[in-house]
Structure 1
């Protein structure tokens, strides 16, 4: 059982103002980053002596189990719940290293404003997982120290994600890393891996969370050797007494400083943004590849917001096979319904292509029946220049270009759109029902009905009958007025866009939209 010494809750030490943000930098910016190294050189750690426990510092060892349902409910807000789950009691630790870090954080007035906005998507999930395991909720603040809760953070040592796993440690904890997907940036997978690692370290260091947290930064071998060196000299072997790398000497104080501020924000002149103690996202399993822009469209949220929940996918498309997509919980029903109704020809498949000597973008596009602009957009190419051995992602469906992308295909369609008297259309390479219907200003359903099509599959050279609803001439379009649509209960941008055969981006462009549509809200729809 740990020994707790009664100390003043707050130090009366004169506080020296610390300038600069160097103390705020997480592990990801340090050139000496050794984060999460799986070091086989870790010595076995003997049980600490009574002397080492009786030094007025907190070395919490399994203080209490999982919090009860009543305890969790009474926390009310997420910050309150986190405070309630503190096990390390950081405000009882009087140490100048913590003071310096706390002053650095509190002197940056917008720190919590900026980082809380990022963390609101992920923090509740992290807290839930810690609570389920009965682990200290101070650990929910570790991604603030590591990455500022930025899943795209990448350090000089290639540590990635909110938990900043280096590649080798990520592999140890089964975080897959390939050209499609990086599990270190996967919010749920990396969180489970980080908590597994921290639990392992806690057991390795006999329940001492401060040593475990230090080892998360510089590796178990690094801390183990420092502990053994002190014991060999007859010195205390607690965290505060160890000679560790400079970054690790500041790492634990940063976490405890954040804990102190969150414990009593008003005392430190800090206002914490309000965060609700409720889930932000839900997981949906998909069985096949899906364009992330299309997925955002199905969820009726901006693509940028969707990618922030799913940052592990390195291409603009999900990886092959079954994967989970995270969707805002208030858009879950919308997304699930739209995904179930998504036509077969709007799903996307990609294949890898290794550039060979003599290849150019035009030849590759021609051989695989793909537009050059599609290749450039999918692979985020600034020019047509390629290098031998470069890997390109090739869309196997023309739908890899969503209605949000201005492409060669769209330009070609606008130039070759048939007149109002056209009654037939010959299918060209790369065509699909959705694009043909869009060219002619008709719905996919009417096109399928007119041609008695049971499937969306088309053959090059096939002749389609076009219903007499062809797009108006350019002169007529210039005089056509936009329509005003009044939002009905149950409507979404996705359902309205499909109803009027218009791109969601066009609706957003002509309307000042908030996050959600409201029944009775009027939208301006430019259908031409």
Structure 2
């Protein structure tokens, strides 16, 4: 349907229609939208056959109308694009089942009617579909405003940020069993969790920002303490995926209460601070994040952060609608008991590209064993968490044979220590005494002698306020 709409928009318009023709097209478009809504209601009621017929009729009307619009003077193609966007928002994972999709016909685009507001991961778990998409009783898609900033962020995720998005997806699939339960218990959408994870760390459990935020969801230390990510002196609990997800869910629910379920403000508070957001918003919690009174007072980072999180969540729900294919990954957790001493780095070497994982397994092993130093060799008998699909590869590659021997040899390689010679003491400089005359300043004195800087002379004479009195003596490094 989208291809047909875009094709119509690109068609050269000719004056073959009349104002009545335009009105007829718009009336047909409104009828198609109502039929689509009817299809959704029928699917909700379990009337899959009737739903499929209503859906097909609506799509046929849209296709025909969009094609005619491009040939009709005065017809606005944007109306058809807007109708498509509205239909996309009506999709909900609880409305359509995978069994219904095949009945829509071979000419049906992949994204239409599939309920892809659920991700490929949740399609394998139908019982989770409603909790994936609902936020405080509303479909998450209706809370995401498809405005300019969100569309710009969608483009970034699909272009420049695409490698980060794919890495986040892969990392999340292996962390899902740890992080999703906390969101599920709190009634929050899985797509929102993925949006935070993609933007914050890309699913790297041990990520630390320049500002000191740490963990997969990047908590500052003070916020982490307030949310209970403390109490383990030997390990920073911000790096625990399950506890980090719980803290994030608690925080978002707290901010949704504070801002009357305004999702954009809650996300903005997560990045820019709840205190700042409360001061800016005041009692008007219905205000849009993009309202000038709010948006203009946000930092550039927060202005970009909110739509980026929402766009990543939207792609999690609607990948097919954006020509995006997330790889299918079996993230079920498993375990191995080490048969021989090894570190996580050694296991990464001997596992190689097992299961077609061409980026290697280092990140996954680190994420799943967050308390383990990857360079430290662990004794035989140590229990490690690995993807269940990797258990056989460990037995085949890392117990016997050449690969564990190679990994051990590389790990034990020593790097020569570089001895830094002690610094050569600089020759002492002779000092010159200068008696201050009327009208002189520290700047003029230093400029006259030209052998030092104002800061150096001020420190040498303890002139922190650079105040001089006539007749006093100032010492300066001599040029000779």
Normalising by structure 2, we get a TM-score of: 0.46
Higher relative contact order by CA 8 Å / sep ≥ 6: 1 or 2? 1
Which structure is larger by alpha-carbon Rg, 1 or 2? 2
- Normalized per residue, the structure richer in helix is 2
